[in-house]
A and B are shown apart, each in its own frame.
Chain A
């Protein structure tokens, strides 16, 4: 009887483990083709998060298509790697398997890259968002000047709010999440100082429920224009969708598809040029030591305006002027 119990429980546990592994967010490249470049990326959230991780995965697949598909560039990824030691294990694993380029797509992975990269001098490592290469010859660093698109979204929000109250739902006050919001607040204040901006932080990049509650609170406080950063802001968009007349301003990826009736504009991180350059450098034998910053000026940052939203001409003109001003240095996005 006890053996039967043990067997049943063992079978159940194994079947559960199988399901978890199947859904555990790791996809390896197929067997190595001679001559194919291999890139692996470790991400804190899912490749379809409509935000940070999706921006990198979209760029990688675009570069893969340009190069001729999987026969020329093989991609592998590990997603939902919020736990840094797990991510460090995955980064080391990919490097051990001989991947040409290993990307740690999260500012929390810096110390892991610093620890692992010296053990694999023939592997190129890239990580962000940061500009620190730790003085290592095989590490690239990258970040986004998120405040630039934040400023433009702030200009739009200031000119499109009807209540005069704008809400910001942030995750954690670090990295590009903070700089985006700093730029947004600055954009609002430089455009119309009478518009009130309220901010809240959930303390988590992934807590959708907390972000939902924050957005509900901003709306209850009178905000009719919202923005926020991180993969958890989908919760804010979801609740905004149920509130008539609330507008959303996105960042990191084009969030229009989430709610076409309320997403006015999105700042898009376009990592493709950076990836092309890192790949070219790798093939030329330059393994690292540089950092990249996405900006409007180098086309790493782009604004996607939702054609389904009737943006007033004055607001659109102001937004386009802000982009040009930031590009030519006449406007400083950070306060």
Chain B
């Protein structure tokens, strides 16, 4: 067994953590937009699955990873539109329509994979991109600045999203619609329009999350490849108190625990594997239990807006 407290091991844990956190960040930050506008989208995992498939299939056919990413975003947008039509325009229960979307994504991606691809195949996805000079910084340089472009984008997304939500008129409108849609409506804000936009932003980012799995991390598609990561992303929004920075904290905590338990096993630490794989989930439940600030929850979350009735 090697020294588990060495710099090399710590660097390995942190680098794996960044990679694992990437799909969570895209999906959970996106879901933050949706939930701040008042719409809980439980279909994130289904959107990730369908986008993951289309990104993979596009790269398989064309070899173009950027086109694969674009297709994933478009698929996410279309799924977001479907969610919006059902839950915003037709006022269906958000939980039910979200679950429907998840099942649709799971079933359709599986069907398309079977019909169009037939068997498991790998593709060449995004490769690590070393940023000159920054990657030469001792210790932190190789960890932070030798990753795929999607890892950089995921972490860049956090301050950008925070800025949009906290410092722009659009962010103010999104939060106003999520807190008090009637008041927002009375000052001329299109509640449905803002909710459509927020759900579509969230779904497009869920699409990128799916692509990050199939053409950046795993470089293949397999039935149910997300293994429920979309649901964890939804939980991270609550965990993070509906703030992109809080969401990032949750994503890093969960990913760190996952990365650490893998490293403990790889280094031969004498801990039962079945116990090790539970560590991230136990830690998440504990932190979620003690830290969630329900006061931050959008007041109109999961509530349909009926003009003149709210």
Contact = CB atoms under 8 A, between A and B. Distances in A.
Interface of A: 4-5, 8-9, 12-13, 16-17, 19-25, 45-46, 48-50, 54, 80, 167, 170, 173, 198-204, 206-210, 212-214, 216-218, 220-221, 231-232, 234-235, 237-239, 241-242, 257-259
Interface in B83-122: 86, 90-92, 97, 100-101, 103-104, 106-112, 114, 118-122
A208 B218 contact: yes
Contacts of B97: 9, 12
A207 B218 contact: no
Contacts of B222: 46, 49, 208, 231-232, 234-235
Contact of B104 (A19, A80, A202, A257): A19
B259 interface: yes
Main secondary structure of the interface of A (DSSP, over half): helix
A231 B223 CA distance: 10
Judged by DSSP, the binding face of B is helix
A66 B121 CA distance: 28
Given A48-B118, A242-B125, A213 B20 contact: yes
B12 interface: yes
A20 B103 contact: yes
B74 interface: no
Nearest to A199: B265
Contacts of B288: none
A213 B16 contact: yes
A241 B90 CA distance: 46
Most chain B CB neighbours (cut-off 10 Å) among A5, A213, A239: A213
Residue of B19, B122, B273 most packed against chain A (CB within 10 A)? B122
Contacts of A48: 114, 118-120
Interface string B268-281: 10000110111000
Given A8-B90, A220-B16, A200 B104 contact: no
Nearest to B263: A217
Nearest to B112: A23
B245 interface: no
B104 A238 contact: no
A50 B262 contact: no
B122 A200 contact: no
B224 interface: yes
A22 B107 contact: yes
B15 interface: yes
Considering residues A25, A216, A217, A258, which has the most beta carbons from chain B within 10 angstroms of its beta carbon? A217
